[in-house]
Structure 1
Amino acid sequence: MQKHDRKSRFEKLKEEQFDLLILGGGATGAGAALDASLRGLKVALLEKSDFSAGTSSRSTKLIHGGVRYLAQFHFKLIHEALTERQRLLENAPHLVKPLPFILPTYKLYEKPYYSIGMTMYDILAWKGDLPSHKRVSKEEVEKDFPALQTKGLTGGILYYDSQFNDARLNVNLARAASKEGALVLNQTELLSFQKKDGKIVGGKVKDLLSGETYNVKAKIIVNATGPWVDDIRLKDDPRTYRVLSPSQGIHLVFKKETIPCNTALIIPKTKDGRVVFIIPWEDHVILGTTDTPIHEVSQDPLPLESEVEFLLQTGSDYLSKPLQRKDIISVFSGIRPLISPEGNQDTKNISREEVILVSPSGLITMGGGKWSTYRKMAEDLIDRVLKEGGLEEFGASRTAKYAFPGKVGYSENLYKEIQKMYKVTEVSAKRLQNFYGGEVFIILGKKPTPLLKGIEYFQEEVEWFAKEEFALTVTDVLARRFRIQFLDLKVSAKLATPVSQILAKQLGWKESQRKEKETTALELIESLRATYTGK
């Protein structure tokens, strides 16, 4: 997004009257902006940091029903999530992929016991295209997941869910909302609400890049700020009660050579009561997640020593080769914005179902939910917005069959054409195919230029991020556009300088600004490395 374009957007923000102002550009906020725009509402979407900079980029990368919810009898939530899973497989095939899972069994009764539960899972996925589960032998499990500890192994269950690139899906939601007419701005903070007769009619916002402030008028304001929903609620009413019961989940990242696997693995029973996954993702393997109640919410949460140790131990218990700290190449932490109006602090048992709260001022807050159901959450939220605002004339949601940017021109074998045209490795060709889908040739052109020799990330990609995907900082690119910060911190550090140089040209930074933003990105990378290296 060019500098002059950002200025014109703020002028539009100041001058127009919006039907809906959405605070928070994560899955919920960006999804709601797209839903509302497609219905014809005049929408503004404001994000204080970057799209998906919070929880929405730090998930386990799964679009799934939630196998663990079977034991809690959350059948409605599971069915809804599995229905949405199928929609995403159809609407964003480049970003959402089928993923086979192994659930290993070590006792004779476990295979029929788990099979009963997975039969219910299959039934709840009615009309989905993914294969049903099946019981598999010890030999088949060893073939599918070679890294698994085989002592006492009797076989397992093979079932399917889906995985996705969360931050890229989120950024594409923001792009789609903008394409459909929404005014979309990141690095924009709400300072205060404006009221008339006790009802919210707008707000004062700040451009965090220029420091300028603007007044914005809106009939309805939605608070979709995830872990920061209470901060916004307190700006509305300092006497209100807190509804957030936050918990932290972390993931460790390894090279595929460290944990050889052809499928994902689910560990159903752990010491902290959560399911733990070992999942191949972007040619790496991630291990997570934890559930640690926290008291303070951070923009860039860091893993606790106890969490790192727990995951290393849990992984080692199930793998033939114990995991060591030196094997970790990256780590990421996310905060679950669980809403508990009743004050329940047991975060493992708080329902992941969505919660909508309407304040006396008219502020509408949405929390809870999960990535898998973001579209249905957005539909429910905008339905409530129309009801509260007397805007029923705008009609029903139109997102169920909405094709994401990149779907047109995409195929599962597109990587072969990419590999042939650009002379890149198969791994890189698949990354490019799955990041951009049918837009890949528009982005890269005829002969893309590598950012660094021997590393197949390209200058043209960074230029695209700045022009079309709202990237405004080095970390925006490394963490949420390239995803390399989530995969390999050493490579991420190497790319910081060339990325900052391209962004400087695109966004008009002075050399001092470029160095400052590069340093900020490198400091974050080093702080993440220190959490598991101790250095």
Structure 2
Amino acid sequence: MQKHDRKSRFQKLTEENFDILILGGGATGAGAALDASLRGLKVALLEKSDFASGTSSRSTKLIHGGVRYLAQFHFKLIHEALTERQRLLENAPHLVKPLPFILPTYKLYEKPYYSIGMTMYDILAWRGKLPAHKRVSKEEVLKDFPALQSEGLTGGILYYDSQFNDARLNVNLARAAAKEGAHILSRTELLSFQKKDGKIVGGKIKDLLTGETGIVKAKVIVNTTGPWVDDIRLKDDPRTYRVLSPSQGIHLVFKKETIPCNTALIIPKTKDGRVVFLIPWEDHVVLGTTDTPIHEVTEDPMPLESEVDFLLQTGSDYLAKPLQKKDILSVFAGIRPLISPEGNQDTKNISREEVILVSPSGLVTMGGGKWSTYRKMAEDLIDRVLVEGGLENYGGSRTATHVFPGKVGYSENLYQEIQKMYKVGEEGAKRLQNYYGGEVFVVLGKSPTPLIKGVDYFKEEVEWFLKEEFALSVTDVLARRFRVQFVDLKLAAKLAGPISTILAKGLGWKESERKEKEAEALSLIDSLKTTYNGK
């Protein structure tokens, strides 16, 4: 059934004429597909791999204004991000949540100095509903973040931002766009552009699962492929210049017992001039990020040993108990698709504001930006596309008040009902609440079956991922539908077999193909372990 459905969907792509063809299904592409679909445009969205498989699932899990941008006087960017933060808190409360931060101070002048900056941050939030910052004592800081080094500590600043589940928000964007009529297909690659009188009118595409090829026609083609924007631009014009200045950021994941904390922590100054965060997430603690300029973009970037050592040292400088490699449960790396037409290679100082480029052939490329401003980026992008495609009669964006799947029926205490109905632990119930919101009972049904004994991950969830969330591989499930590959590689390896069995049934895999797909997922897990000498 799945294979037949895919064949018909690919065929439909090649038979219809679209207003917009969007290449790349990360935050920007999926956000643009939803924005355009809500305006009534005929939209196709193609993703070469999986939705959020690149940068969009490997973030620091924050929707924030960017405290570090205060020192760079990027007030417009901060205000825009804080405005978007409030919208997401309202429109996707199960996926985006308030998060208190501690900014520790060790010198007498630091508390008033940082307080001045945080006052500006509060002002830029304007109509936001999160509490304003406040100065806190040493005792209060240690109560909020017990793992912190107490020697020399004078107190700190308590302020609020928000955190989110990046990959699940991305998948929900794609789902919402499909619900509004967008034609969406992953594992589909653009081979070349079709042109008429020097202008792009379509593209030759290939289904990477079946090998089938075809031509898709569109008035405007949009390039939102993140780290691969230059590859697409070169397919349009082999003589064009490269605009990408990519950098890699990595994160380490630990047990909460290793880094006891009730809030997040911001380390305001590091040896490389960045800030580093320690953030509770998925009942674990995430430490990141780095900023390492790179020359080669890969599908699954691997952390460098020097990056791992840097984060361990930076974290240990602020914690009472030094971190060690044996404490690491998982690690993930992402590539920032920073756009620098001027050729600036100092990636720490390249603006995170988005850039829109339009080639002589009409290809529209968007790069840069960050998760916090994805919605406004999508709005700006589609506004530009309407002009370039002569589609101005479609009107303005409608995404500012768009309610995400799962908001209806959601409450902060929904986990208690989940616990009662399904007899799961509090941790598992909160995960289910925050993954699916009010849809949780539709996803799980009356009596869900655990994938493995004693773990609150269920067969019915994987079946939901197949039916509603575009999952096509074991890693799609482990890394981006569940987030277990990001927080516990050992558990991910245990779940790979049961997940592959369910996918095999839904996707029509033969037993040899099932074993091959499972082995691919396990190989990636082993590679990630190797980066920090994990066992």
TM-score computed with the length of structure 2 as normaliser: 1.00
- The residue identity in structure 2 corresponding to 1:496 is A
**Structure 2 residue aligned with 1:128:** 128
SS at match of 2:348: coil
**Structure 2 residue aligned with 1:194:** 194
**Structure 2 residue aligned with 1:247:** 247
SS at match of 2:117: helix
Say if 2:329 and 2:487, in contact at 8 Å, map to a contact too: yes
- The residue identity in structure 1 corresponding to 2:442 is I
Give the whole-Å Cα distance in 2 for the aligned partners of 1:226 and 1:115. 36
- Once the two structures are overlaid, the 10-residue window that deviates more, 211-220 or 2-11, is 2-11
Say if 2:325 and 2:534, in contact at 8 Å, map to a contact too: no
Count of residues paired in the alignment: 535
SS at match of 1:326: helix
Give the whole-Å Cα distance in 2 for the aligned partners of 1:330 and 1:454. 21
SS at match of 2:244: coil
**Structure 2 residue aligned with 1:43:** 43
Shift of 1:139: 0.2
- The residue identity in structure 2 corresponding to 1:222 is V
**Structure 2 residue aligned with 1:56:** 56
SS at match of 1:80: helix
Shift of 1:85: 0.1
Shift of 1:534: 6.5
Give the whole-Å Cα distance in 2 for the aligned partners of 1:511 and 1:184. 28
**Structure 1 residue aligned with 2:323:** 323
> Is 1:281–2:274 an aligned residue pair?
no
Identity level (%): 87
**Structure 2 residue aligned with 1:89:** 89
Give the whole-Å Cα distance in 2 for the aligned partners of 1:82 and 1:345. 28
**Structure 1 residue aligned with 2:66:** 66
- The residue identity in structure 2 corresponding to 1:207 is D
| Matches for 1:448-467 after TM superposition, within 5 Å | 448-467=448-467
**Structure 2 residue aligned with 1:226:** 226
- The residue identity in structure 1 corresponding to 2:405 is P
Give the whole-Å Cα distance in 2 for the aligned partners of 1:6 and 1:373. 32
| Matches for 1:469-488 after TM superposition, within 5 Å | 469-488=469-488
**Structure 1 residue aligned with 2:169:** 169
**Structure 2 residue aligned with 1:238:** 238
Give the whole-Å Cα distance in 1 for the aligned partners of 2:6 and 2:119. 51
Give the whole-Å Cα distance in 2 for the aligned partners of 1:371 and 1:455. 31
SS at match of 2:409: coil
**Structure 2 residue aligned with 1:359:** 359
**Structure 2 residue aligned with 1:296:** 296
**Structure 2 residue aligned with 1:409:** 409
**Structure 2 residue aligned with 1:256:** 256
> Is 1:349–2:349 an aligned residue pair?
yes
- The residue identity in structure 2 corresponding to 1:33 is A
Give the whole-Å Cα distance in 2 for the aligned partners of 1:390 and 1:314. 52
**Structure 2 residue aligned with 1:382:** 382
Give the whole-Å Cα distance in 1 for the aligned partners of 2:508 and 2:455. 26
Give the whole-Å Cα distance in 1 for the aligned partners of 2:452 and 2:334. 30
Say if 2:223 and 2:363, in contact at 8 Å, map to a contact too: yes
Say if 2:462 and 2:499, in contact at 8 Å, map to a contact too: yes
SS at match of 1:315: helix
Shift of 1:327: 0.3
- Once the two structures are overlaid, the 10-residue window that deviates more, 96-105 or 508-517, is 508-517
SS at match of 1:35: helix
Give the whole-Å Cα distance in 2 for the aligned partners of 1:401 and 1:6. 32
Shift of 1:2: 2.5
Shift of 1:4: 2.1
**Structure 2 residue aligned with 1:430:** 430
Shift of 1:486: 0.2
Shift of 1:368: 0.4
Unpaired segments ≥5 residues, structure 2: none
CA offset digits 1:333-376 (Å, max 9, x no partner)? 00000000000000000000000000000000000000000000
CA offset digits 1:14-68 (Å, max 9, x no partner)? 1000000000000000000000000000000000000000000000000000000
SS at match of 2:457: strand
Shift of 1:396: 0.2
Give the whole-Å Cα distance in 1 for the aligned partners of 2:486 and 2:347. 25
Give the whole-Å Cα distance in 2 for the aligned partners of 1:2 and 1:177. 20
SS at match of 2:451: strand
Give the whole-Å Cα distance in 1 for the aligned partners of 2:534 and 2:327. 14
CA offset digits 1:414-437 (Å, max 9, x no partner)? 000000000000000000000000
SS at match of 1:532: coil
**Structure 2 residue aligned with 1:19:** 19
**Structure 2 residue aligned with 1:183:** 183
**Structure 2 residue aligned with 1:147:** 147
Shift of 1:512: 1.2
- The residue identity in structure 1 corresponding to 2:384 is R
- The residue identity in structure 2 corresponding to 1:193 is F
| Matches for 1:484-523 after TM superposition, within 5 Å | 484-523=484-523
SS at match of 1:457: coil
SS at match of 2:349: coil
Say if 2:326 and 2:534, in contact at 8 Å, map to a contact too: no
Shift of 1:265: 0.1
CA offset digits 1:221-271 (Å, max 9, x no partner)? 000000000000000000000000000000000000000000000001001
Say if 2:150 and 2:320, in contact at 8 Å, map to a contact too: yes
SS at match of 1:400: helix
CA offset digits 1:197-242 (Å, max 9, x no partner)? 0000000000000010011000000000000000000000000000
Give the whole-Å Cα distance in 2 for the aligned partners of 1:273 and 1:514. 46
SS at match of 1:522: helix
- The residue identity in structure 1 corresponding to 2:387 is K
Give the whole-Å Cα distance in 1 for the aligned partners of 2:57 and 2:273. 24
RMSD over aligned CA atoms reads 0.7
Say if 2:79 and 2:125, in contact at 8 Å, map to a contact too: yes
